[in-house]
Amino acid sequence: MNKIYTMEEAMDLIRDGDTIWVNAFAACASPVDLNKAITRRFRATGHPKHLTVYSAFSFAEWKEGSEVEGYICEGGVDCVVIGFFGSLYSTVKAIQENRIEGYNLPGGVMSHMIRAAACGQKSLFTKIGLNLFVDPRNAQYRLNERSKRTLVHLAEENGEQGLLYDIPKVDIALLKATSADERGNITFENEAASIDCLAVAQATHRNGGKVIVQVKNIVNSHILPRMVNVPAALVDAVVVVPDQKQLTNVSGFYEYICGKYVPTGSILKACRDEISSRIGETSHRTALHHAIAKRAVHELREGQIVNIGIGIPELIAAEALDRGILEKVHLSVESGHTGGYPLSGMGFGVSIGPDSMMDMARQFDFYEGGGLDICFIGTLQVDAKGNVNGHQAPGKLSGIGGFANISQTTKKVVFCMTFTAGGLEGTFDGESVHITREGRNRKFLETIPTRSFAVENARAINQEVLYVTERCVFGLTEEGLELREIAPGIDLQKDILDQLPFRPKIAEDLKPMQF
């Protein structure tokens, strides 16, 4: 059976009203060419339309007006359900303007949902999201007035309260891989991650849907069975895209992000600098950001398994490398990598020289089972009790991603954030911090508009929780936030207490921050 299709023939498989699942993690394994082809077909014919799009993580190009998102924002899509919106600029705008339905679910939950769909399950029970924005008692996963669907239910299983997530029936799977043989067996040897490729294909095939895969090339030789990520039996169409990019937002091929071991030290730094200069950063890193990372890295202990989140925590990897402790810990990211050096900015989800690369659902199995020793997570807002908003700022939607799955289950959580935002300026000389201009926006509030992290969940599993800023460190207690450390150069009253809308507990042994 011939499974090698032209792009136009593959587009013929997509019908009006279909539910599409896009397998991607930001720059990793994103089938951008298939999505662009849907846009071109829609612009030319007005079809397919009334589509629903699911994806655990974003899959566009980190720019406004990307053709990847064209069909979503120009009338072809009625509804999107996405875990992390990072690169989906136009989709976010369409949601904010109430032009399409938009829903945000935890990325790890969505990863487990598609695997459960492959098993024939209609719903997924989990504690992830309990007491958070996605909890139906809050129902803030609905992102605009247009979004009326109920996707999450309060439930009980074996005497324990949790959430029941509805699982969709997928009609179309969109995958990007490296190679296919003439039968349609699919391999990911040059991809930075495989994400949930097999589960997405299994779930779609089970539902009688179509699995469409874009690849760089067709190999004529026999592929070793252990190398096959998606077997031909599950594949309906293979589209060859010879010039497809290894990563969504950067040209070139890098063997050290798809399996080659890279020694630490100068060789790893050279690899990092090479690809980072091509990928770019999502935001400028200031001296105050580096101060936060330099304090936070002191929480690492030899042998720990660690998750590094997006934002300021990305600097933890650089600190570990510079201090010669990278090989003494095991850094990991949600996309499925453990070990190596996680990239930052638009390269988030990619690791240089990882020890292992697994499907994303397996990584979240480990995370949600409490396997992580410590995690470092970026933060937008914190309230007086210690609850955190990490996924939705005023006028901006990033999405929860893996935030809830990780912070709700890890033994020790270190939130990393500037004390204020919007014009904050200061100096850091490696030992002391001086604030020269305060930010316009407070990040510590009496109450926060939405919750990505709930203190009642933390106390239920005896989590240790720290909040590291450039000027001080708070810890979570039964009473709320406790001020435990203050940076040299910072005035307790002017720079901390006067900037808070509440009075925190102050530790009797208030210590100077060590960088």
Q: What are phi and psi of 12, to 5 degrees?
A: -65, -20
pLDDT at position 327 over 80? yes
HSE (side-chain half, CA atoms, 13 Å) at 109: 32
Which is nearest to 511 in space by CA: 483, 481, 477? 483
**Are residue 304 and residue 219 in the same domain, yes or no?**
no
pLDDT at position 333 over 60? yes
State the amino acid at position 401 in one-letter form: G
The answer to whether residue 275 sits within a structural domain is no
pLDDT at position 85 over 70? yes
- Cα–Cα dist 164/154, whole Å: 6
Instruction: Give the pLDDT mean for 376-384.
Output: 97
pLDDT at position 343 over 70? yes
Going by C-beta distance under 8 Å and a sequence separation of 6 or more, which residues neighbour residue 168? 19, 21, 52, 54, 81, 113, 117
**Are residue 200 and residue 317 in the same domain, yes or no?**
no
**Are residue 28 and residue 133 in the same domain, yes or no?**
yes
State the average pLDDT for the chain.
96
- Cα–Cα dist 263/253, whole Å: 19
**Are residue 73 and residue 147 in the same domain, yes or no?**
yes
**Are residue 63 and residue 193 in the same domain, yes or no?**
yes
Instruction: Write out the two tokens for 369.
Output: 């089972």
Which is nearest to 505 in space by CA: 477, 470, 471, 486? 477
Share of the chain above pLDDT 70, in %: 99
pLDDT at position 282 over 60? no
What pLDDT does 221 receive? 84
The answer to whether residue 209 sits within a structural domain is yes
The answer to whether residue 194 sits within a structural domain is yes
Domain with residue 459: its CATH number is 3.40.1080.10
Instruction: Give the pLDDT mean for 145-171.
Output: 97
**Are residue 297 and residue 202 in the same domain, yes or no?**
no
**Are residue 169 and residue 235 in the same domain, yes or no?**
yes
**Are residue 194 and residue 301 in the same domain, yes or no?**
no
**Are residue 155 and residue 292 in the same domain, yes or no?**
no
Domain that holds residue 36: 4-240
- Cα–Cα dist 113/364, whole Å: 12
The answer to whether residue 28 sits within a structural domain is yes
The answer to whether residue 307 sits within a structural domain is yes
pLDDT at position 283 over 70? no
**Are residue 178 and residue 290 in the same domain, yes or no?**
no
Instruction: Give the pLDDT mean for 72-97.
Output: 97
Q: How confident is the model at residue 2 (pLDDT cuts 50, 70, 90)?
A: confident
Among 205, 240, 275, the domain boundary falls at 240
- E strand or H helix that includes residue 161: strand 160-166
Going by C-beta distance under 8 Å and a sequence separation of 6 or more, which residues neighbour residue 254? 246, 271, 274, 275
pLDDT at position 113 over 90? yes
The answer to whether residue 133 sits within a structural domain is yes
pLDDT at position 353 over 90? yes
Among 209, 240, 271, the domain boundary falls at 240
**Are residue 168 and residue 291 in the same domain, yes or no?**
no
Total structural domains within the chain? 2
- 499: which DSSP letter? G
Q: How confident is the model at residue 60 (pLDDT cuts 50, 70, 90)?
A: very high
Among 185, 212, 240, the domain boundary falls at 240
- pLDDT (tens digit, 9 = 90+) per residue, 244-281? 999 998 889 999 999 888 988 888 999 998 888 888 65
pLDDT at position 224 over 80? yes
- Cα–Cα dist 20/35, whole Å: 11
- pLDDT (tens digit, 9 = 90+) per residue, 441-483? 999 999 999 999 999 999 999 999 999 999 999 999 999 999 9
The answer to whether residue 501 sits within a structural domain is yes
The answer to whether residue 212 sits within a structural domain is yes
**Are residue 233 and residue 291 in the same domain, yes or no?**
no
Cβ neighbour number for residue 348 with a 10 Å cutoff? 27
- Cα–Cα dist 494/33, whole Å: 53
Please spell the DSSP secondary structure of 318-387, one letter per residue: HHHHHTT-GGGSEEEETTTEESSEE--GGGTT-EES-SEE--HHHHHHHHHTT--SEEEEE-SEEETT--
Cβ neighbour number for residue 282 with a 10 Å cutoff? 17
Residues carrying an active site annotation: 334
Instruction: Give the pLDDT mean for 394-423.
Output: 95
